[in-house]
Every structure is written in structure tokens, then in C-alpha cells.
Structure 1
Amino acid sequence: MNAKTDNLRRHALRGRIGGSETMRRVSRMLAWAVLGLSLFALSAVFAEAAHRAGLVTYVFTRTLLWSVAPYLAAFMLLHRSLHLPAMEGNSLVGLAVTLPFAGLLFGFAAFHIEYSRGALLLSYLITLGWIWAGYRRYVHNYVPLFGYTDPHTLAQLEGILAMPGAAPAARMRFEPVGSLEDAGHFDGLMVDRSVTGDPERTRLLAHYKMSHVRMYSVERVGEMLTGRVGLAHIDENFLDDYAAHYLYGYLKRVVDIVAVLCLAPIAVPLGLAVALAIRMETPGGAIFRQERVGLFGKPFIMLKFRSMGVDASAPAQFAVRRDPRVTRVGRIIRKYRLDEIPQLWNVLAGHMSLIGPRPEQAPMVDRFSASIPYYPYRHLVRPGLSGWAQVQQGYAGSHAETVTKLSYDLYYVKHCSVALDLLIGVKTLRTLVTGYGAR
């Protein structure tokens, strides 16, 4: 018996006692959250001493104590969003911390509760720094180790990772498992769902499932690494995942309407300025109308500011870099997505949502539906101003890149949630500032 076998047996014994490495890291993150409460305790002690010395008011200490609630809520939100790819860590931490503190601030204003802005800012910075340090230590910088029993699962995974135009995948290590008795050494087991099960294999899988050793299909591991769905492995279970988000669509519709009404005071004057610039450069109307395919495949007329000086009746085609048809004003408004301001009306009318797969032209939808399996599934949700594919990949300029784009869109259809929508919103703001992916 060699040293490696002894080491694996020790890890397996530890796995039977404490589950997989994933479960142990979750426990460490929870302990990190509890330890962070000591920072608030120390801050409260110093704040009380400062109050007695006449340096701050009693409201400062009370605000620090109130801030414990968003601190705990931030850890809960972060835990709930760990299904998203690990490379999104910085954005996830920022969202998980900002939202609860924004909620606390809204509560103070709504109920006219006196609070200290300095204490609230201090609590926010403590929470942000502490959670960011914990996430970097236990999640972001940690490279998970997955075991596998069948070598062909690695080839299946490679097919999911290697797609044209895709964003870089997260890091992960893989080692073969001599037997499932070694499972405790790993963060999880990567298994092939298509393999015909036998009684012995089923018993072993059930044993480690009860021991908190996590098991993932090849498709799920691919999603964790890339934020994409493996198109070659979609089956009828995909529709079950979509059904789980059915009620979420109604809540999202309310959020869309409220958000558009709040954005109107900024969007209307900005839109008027863009329209004036378009009319000054080239003759013709400033608004461009085009038929696109929306929810459940129903066509609608999408509005955009005109960015080209050619006949709008030109056949549908991919956007290309340095397109000669684009005007000088058009290049600017395309780069910063100002040409899409009129689509806020489409959102208000219910044709689109703020977040969702970008609507395609009807002729291109017909073409892709005939050549790409499962392409119509992207129409199970309302199309959006910005989507997961846009912030991860940008524009698709070829048929191969369209396949990659579909894998991102179907990931959103499968995993759409408040956390994912907010993450897309943050990354969209980055796009508006940098002009990433514009054509």
C-alpha cells in the first residue's frame, strides 16, 4: 500500500465524518461570518466610549447595532448566489453587501428613524471588507478538486468548455477516483447521468449522498465553470428547471414597470438629445423600427435610434466591426448603448424586459431554429435590453458564436433569479461605461 493510497484513505475517513470538502468550506465561511460579529461588538464598545466622551451621539452606537442585520443578510445573499460562476466573485460580493444596506437605509427613511450616516458608512465598509476577505479566502481563490470515475466525462466536459467567443472558464482540478470510497477527498464527484446504473453503483452513490458528499453531472460542472449550458446535453429536465421560475416572471414584470418609470426623467431628455444629433447628421427619422421575436416566439416591433444611413430594408445579417453603414453619431450611440433608449417603451408595453436574452430578427430566428437544436427555448422568457450573453460574450458575429450565445441564453433561462438579474445589471453598467462588445 503506497503513501498516496494512505492519504486517500485518510481523506475518505475525514469525508465520512465531515462530508465533502465543499461542505467543510461552507462551514468555514459560516464561522467567518460569526467571527465578523466581533468587529461590530468592538466597534460598538468604542462607539459607546466615544459617546461618553462627548465625541459622538447615542445614535452612532444604535446605528452600528442596527447594521448587524444587513451584515447577516449579506452573508445569506452571498450563500444563495454561490451557484453562479466563481469568476463573478467581486460583483457578487458587492451586490450581496450593497442591497441589504440599501434596504436598511430605505427602512430608516420610510419609518423616520434617526440614524448616523457615519456609523452606517463604517458598518458598510466593515461588512464589505470582511465578506470580501472571506470570499477570496474560501471561495474565489480556492481551486475545487473534483473526482471522476469514467475518463470519458473529461472529454464531455471539454466539449462544453471549448466554444468560440466564450469567456474564460473558472479554475477547477480533476483527479480519477479509484473507488467511491475515496470520495471524501474531493469537493464533489463528477458523474455521467447517461451511464446505466447498477445496484452496487446506486448503493455507493446513495451512501455518499447521505454523507454530504456532493455529486454533479458533467453538465452541471460545465455550468459552474463557464456560466453556459452544454447544448449537447440538454434533455427534458431543462423544461422542469424553467417551470421552477414560472412565478418569478410576474414579479419581474412589476420591477420592469417601476424601473422604467424611475428612469424616465433621465432617459427622456437624453433620448431627445440623441434624436437631435441623428437628425443633424443625416436626413430621415431618428427612430428605427424592426420586427423582432419575443416571448413564446411572438413577433413585435422593436424601437431603436437609427445608427445607420442606409435603407432599413436591407436583409438581416450579423453585425460586424467597423461597419461602413454606421454613421459617426451611430458609432457613439452604439458604443454606449444609447441607441437602445427607445426600447424602454418596449419594456413598458410588455414586449421586452430590462434583463433577458436579446431579441433577434425574425429571419435570423427562422434560420437558427432550423440549424441549431433547442434555439426556440430562448423564447421561454421575455427578451431584454441586456442579457447574460451580452455581458459575458458581447455580440455574436458568426454562426459558431451564435451557438455559444445560445448556451449563455439558455443558462439564463434555466437559472434566472434576482441574484443573476442584479449581476447582469452591474455588468451592464460596466458595458455602458467602457463600451465593451459594441459593433
Structure 2
Amino acid sequence: MNKSTGAGHPTRPFRAQGSETIRRASRMLAWALFGLVFFGLNIVLAELARRAGWVTHVFTATLIWAILAYLTAFLLLHRSLHLPALEGNSLVGLATTLPFVALLFAFAAFHLEYSRGALLLAYFTTLIWIWFGYQRYVRNYVPVFGYTDATALRQLEQMLAMPGAAPAGPTRLRAISSLAEAVHCDGLMLDRNATADPERTRALAQFKLSHVRMYSVERVGEMLTGRVALAHIDENFFDDHAAHYFYRFSKRLIDIAAVLSLAPMALPLGLVVALTIRIETPGPALFRQERIGLYGKPFTMLKFRSMGFDASAPAQFAARQDPRVTRVGRVIRKYRLDEIPQLWNVLMGHMSLIGPRPEQAPMVEEFERTIPYYPYRHLLRPGLSGWAQVQQGYVGTHEETVTKLSYDLYYVKHCSLALDLLIAVKTLRTLLTGYGAR
């Protein structure tokens, strides 16, 4: 995050009306349309190659079908532009791969002839084109936010400096004192609690009439960090959450289908894990613990036991190099194999594949007393993996729990299929690398 002043800054072209997210979407839309020209050129060349006898008509037909996957990839990326630009590589790979996998399944389901060479050519062309456009117009673009008072700047700095948080996206912050300086910013950052006076009101009205986009400090923080500011939760939080009704219904269907699909692999792997636990230490392989779920209702969560058996142990944070963890436990915790039994919790509706991680009942009672807005994380089903887990990993202190809540509430506010898929990809990275394990 860089700070600068508007004095002596050279005049730049007037920026388009709308938010920075809208501008990024406009750039990517233009890039997508421009890419169709190259797709059309490839189809023409393929048709010429067919007439020359180098390829069959199936090659050309596959390229034409691939246009649907190409456009769908840009649509998926468009729906995820509200996410921090630092997630760009994961978003691009995900948005490109899913439509082409769906197209491959469609070919198989309807017994349509297709060319593997043409499909691979279209896939890698789309991947490179989207990646280059995203890097140029979204990820490498550093937004400029202006501010009129130092209070807004201090609030943002406090939000960016939360303990245990992932690095924020790059931005430049500029103190402004006139309309001429404001119109060259991507937005004006405002302190929503600032005292309203006639002079300030007139100035803001002038900015608004000149198409200067105005954001609260909290909204700027969300765009840069993927976290919700806990100092103030406004009515928009509940409006955004209420808009996700159909998404929650469809997500439940996806959870059930995913668990049934994973069962043939999870059952034998779970049996191997259970056997190794019983061989190393006495006691049951399964660990049952009361956790708090949807709407604050308790449920019994299942896990493979990764510590020595002690039924009387109190609830506490997992520490780094925790001496209670067994040798087998360290391996299964590192690669999240201890959470295989929670697929049963997902099937029963206690949990979801993606959502805020469920906490132990005694800890929830303490956090609800000491952390404002903590109960709001229970507006969604808890998950095997979540936005906080892939961004922050395990937490070990009260301060890190506050940061974790800011990630959880961001997910509650912005939950969507695009965000779930991004979390799933980053979870796979965790399973392969053991990131964040304790």
C-alpha cells in the first residue's frame, strides 16, 4: 500500500463512471470479444486445412463447439471479479478448466464426435488468452483511492494490519483536497462515521455529480483483503446474505452428490487411517466432539483421533508442535485426513463441504461474549474447508480468531459458486502441501 498526495500530479484522462469492479469487468469483456476474432481465424484456418486433407471436419466442428466453453470461461471470471485480484492465477485456471471439462462430458454423454487435438488447442488458447488479459487489465492494475481525512486512512491501516491475515492487494492512497484531484482516482474512501457538516456535504455532492465513485473504508478493505471489517456491520451485510437463498438450496444438492461420489475413495482410505491409529495408540479411532453449527445449533462432529486418548481434556487451541499429537496424528492432520469422517456430517446436513469451520461449544460461548458479531458466522452451515482456512490456516490466539471471523463473515456476505470453487482449488493445494497444519 502506497500513500501519495495529489499536489503536482500530472493530469490523466477522465476515468469511466462506475466502480473499479465494473471497470475491470468492462476491460475483460472487451478482451473476450477481441479473442473471438482469433477463434474465428482458427476456424477459418481449420476449414482450409480440412479442404487440403490435413484434418477432418470433426476438427473444425470441435473448435466451433469450443467457443461456448470460451465464452463460459469469461462469464465465470466475470462473476468472480469482486474477489481480491491476488487470487488471479487460481481464478483463471478454474474459470478456464471447468467449461472445457463440462464440454468434454457433453461430448461423451451425447456420443458426439470430437477432436482431442482441437479441444486441447482451444483449451490452451483460452487459458493463455484469459491469463494474459487478467494479468494486464486486472491483477497488475493498482487502484488509486483518494481520501479527504486522515481518520479514513487510519481505519484502513488498522484493518490491513490484523494479526495472522494474508497480505492485502496492492493499492495507492492519495490525500485529495479538490474535485480536480478526485476525478483521477478510482474511488473516494470515506469514513461513514465522520461528522456531517454543510461544507463536507456540498463537497461530497459535487464529487458524486462528477461521477466520482465513493466507498466506505470497510468496502475498500473488503476489495483489498477478502475480509469484512468488524468495526461496523451495516444493513447491506444482511441484504447480501438474504439474496443467497437459491444458492444455499443448490449447494445442499451439490454437497450430497459430492459425498456420494467421494465415498468409494474415502471409505477404504478411512479404514487405512483408522487401522494405523489403533496400531499406534490405544483408544477409539474416531473422535466425537460437540460443535456449533447452523443457526447456533450444536451437533456431534466426527474426526479421526490425532492425539492421545483423554476424554477429560478441556477445549483449547491447537498449538504448533503440539505435544498431544501422535506421530500418525501429525501426518493425518497435515494432509487433513483426520477430517474424512466429516463427510458423514455433510451427508446428514450438519455441515457443508465449504463454509466456516465449526468451533467447540465452550469456545463459541467465550467468543460470543468477547467478539462482536461472532454469532453471524452461524448463518451458514459450517464446512470441511472455508475461506478463513485457505487464507489464514489454523489460529492459535484470541487475536487471530478475530481475524478469522473477518474472513468467515466475508464468506457469509459473498458466498457464491465462484467463491466455493476457488476455496476448493486452494483446499487441494492445502492437501498437497499441508499448509497451515498444526
Report the count of equivalent residues: 429
* Partner AA of 1:62 in structure 2: A
* Partner AA of 1:200 in structure 2: R
* Partner AA of 1:194 in structure 2: N
| Corresponding residue number in structure 2 for 1:430 | 429
Matches within 5 A, 1:40-439: 40-195=39-194, 196=196, 198=198, 200-201=202-203, 203-208=205-210, 211=211, 213-439=212-438
CA distance in 1, matches of 2:138, 2:100: 23
Shift of 1:200: 2.1
* Partner AA of 1:131 in structure 2: I
* Partner AA of 2:17 in structure 1: G
CA distance in 1, matches of 2:141, 2:311: 51
CA distance in 2, matches of 1:325, 1:351: 27
CA distance in 2, matches of 1:32, 1:235: 36
Q: Deviations over 1:124-147 (max 9, x none)?
A: 100000000010011111111111
Report if the CA contact (8 A) 1:20-1:183 is conserved.
no
| Corresponding residue number in structure 1 for 2:3 | none
CA distance in 1, matches of 2:179, 2:209: 10
Shift in CA distance, 24/397, structure 1 to aligned 2, threshold 3 Å: closer
What residue ranges of structure 2 are gaps of 5+ in the alignment? 1-5
CA distance in 2, matches of 1:236, 1:48: 56
Shift of 1:31: 2.3
Shift of 1:268: 0.5
What residue ranges of structure 1 are gaps of 5+ in the alignment? none
Q: Percent identity?
A: 71
Name whichever of 144-153 and 372-381 sits farther off.
Answer: 144-153
Q: Secondary structure at the match of 2:301?
A: strand
Q: Secondary structure at the match of 1:272?
A: helix
CA distance in 2, matches of 1:26, 1:383: 31
Shift in CA distance, 77/222, structure 1 to aligned 2, threshold 3 Å: same
Shift of 1:24: 5.3
Give the alignment's TM-score, normalised by structure 2.
Answer: 0.94
Q: Secondary structure at the match of 1:89?
A: helix
Report if the CA contact (8 A) 1:300-1:351 is conserved.
yes
Report if the CA contact (8 A) 1:20-1:186 is conserved.
no
Q: Secondary structure at the match of 1:292?
A: strand
Give the alignment's TM-score, normalised by structure 1.
Answer: 0.93
Shift of 1:7: 3.6
Shift in CA distance, 275/216, structure 1 to aligned 2, threshold 3 Å: same
1:19 has 2:17 as partner: yes
